């Protein structure tokens, strides 16, 4: 799960984009392209973590161990405050 402040320090930028905006942000997990799932399709145990404009569930890994998550900003400004693994 990735989270961002909605308006850092109370000041929103005109071109600030959200983490779940596929036109602005590209995600890859272990080298494979990922899109955040539609919140309506999330399993019930993930729904409380998906907060529009603040946190987005990126996906699940099936095996414990080392994994690589990459984020590419394609358009605008994206603020990423923290990543949570659970």
| pLDDT tens-digit map of 21-67 | 888 889 998 898 988 877 788 778 777 777 766 788 887 777 888 88
Residue 3 predicted with pLDDT over 80: yes
Give the residue, 13 or 52, on which the prediction is more confident.
13
- Collect contacts of 69-75 with beta carbons under 8 A, ≥24 apart: 69/27, 69/28, 69/29, 70/27, 70/28, 71/2, 71/25, 71/26, 71/27, 72/25, 72/26, 72/27, 72/28, 73/17, 73/24, 73/25, 74/23, 74/24, 74/25, 74/26, 75/15, 75/17, 75/23, 75/24
Residue 52 confidence (pLDDT)? 66
Residue 84 confidence (pLDDT)? 80
pTM more than 0.85 = no
The predicted model gives 3-27 an average pLDDT of: 79
């Amino acid at each position: 799960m990735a989270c961002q402040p909605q308006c850092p320090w109370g000041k929103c930028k005109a071109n600030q984009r959200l983490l779940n905006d596929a036109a602005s942000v590209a995600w890859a997990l272990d080298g494979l392209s990922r899109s955040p799932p539609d919140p309506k399709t999330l399993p019930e145990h993930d729904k409380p973590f998906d907060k529009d404009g603040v946190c987005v569930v990126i996906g699940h890994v099936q095996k414990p161990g080392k994994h690589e998550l990459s984020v590419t900003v394609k358009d605008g400004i994206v603020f990423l405050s923290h990543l949570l693994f659970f």
